[in-house]
Amino acid sequence: MKAGRRADPWQNPPPGLIAVGEVLTTQGNKGEVKVSPLTDTLERWLELTRVFRVSGTCTNELWIENIRFMRGLGIVKFRGGDSISAAEELRDEFLWRPEEERPHLPEGRFYLDEVIGVKVYGPNDCFLGTIAEVLQSGANDVY
């Protein structure tokens, strides 16, 4: 794990940004990277023209030149990243987008980061606890 890499993008994200993917590794030798999209709808990635990389106190804008999907992963080429060494720089990094650019969900649907910290009550207004994390298994999310 790189120094400064966030282990959980939902805990203490950079102000005004939301995580949209995690760079897993490089793809080929022309600067492409494999990205694990943090969405249940891969097509949302097709709407993106740029994402941000946050490293320490620096935020860099990355313009998406091309994206395709392979086995549930995004294969992304960023403008100016034409070598495997440029792609290696992004390995294990989370990619972010401005929160105000996030698509709106239908009534009653929520993004995962919106439920972290929500207080849960049972019958008779009995406090059960606060949602600390969401575990994503193959079949369903566990709160």
Domain limits for position 141: 108-143
Q: Do 97 and 117 belong together in one domain?
A: no
**pLDDT single digits (tens) 60-89:** 999 999 999 999 899 999 999 889 999 999
Q: Do 51 and 115 belong together in one domain?
A: no
What pLDDT score does 1 carry? 44
- DSSP-derived secondary structure for the chain: --TT--S-TTSSPPTTEEEEEEEEEEETTTTEEEEEESSS-THHHHT-SEEEEEETTEEEEEEEEEEEEETTEEEEEETT--SHHHHHTTTT-EEEEEGGGSPPPPTT---HHHHTT-EEE-GGG-EEEE----EE-SS-EE-
State the CATH number of the domain containing residue 18: 2.40.30.60
**pLDDT single digits (tens) 9-41:** 666 678 889 899 999 999 988 899 999 998 877
Q: Is the pLDDT of residue 138 over 70?
A: no
**pLDDT single digits (tens) 90-133:** 999 999 999 898 888 899 988 888 888 999 999 999 999 999 88
Q: Do 33 and 86 belong together in one domain?
A: yes
Structurally, the chain folds into a number of domains equal to: 2
Q: Do 58 and 124 belong together in one domain?
A: no
Q: Do 85 and 114 belong together in one domain?
A: no
Q: Do 76 and 55 belong together in one domain?
A: yes
Q: Is the pTM of this model over 0.85?
A: no
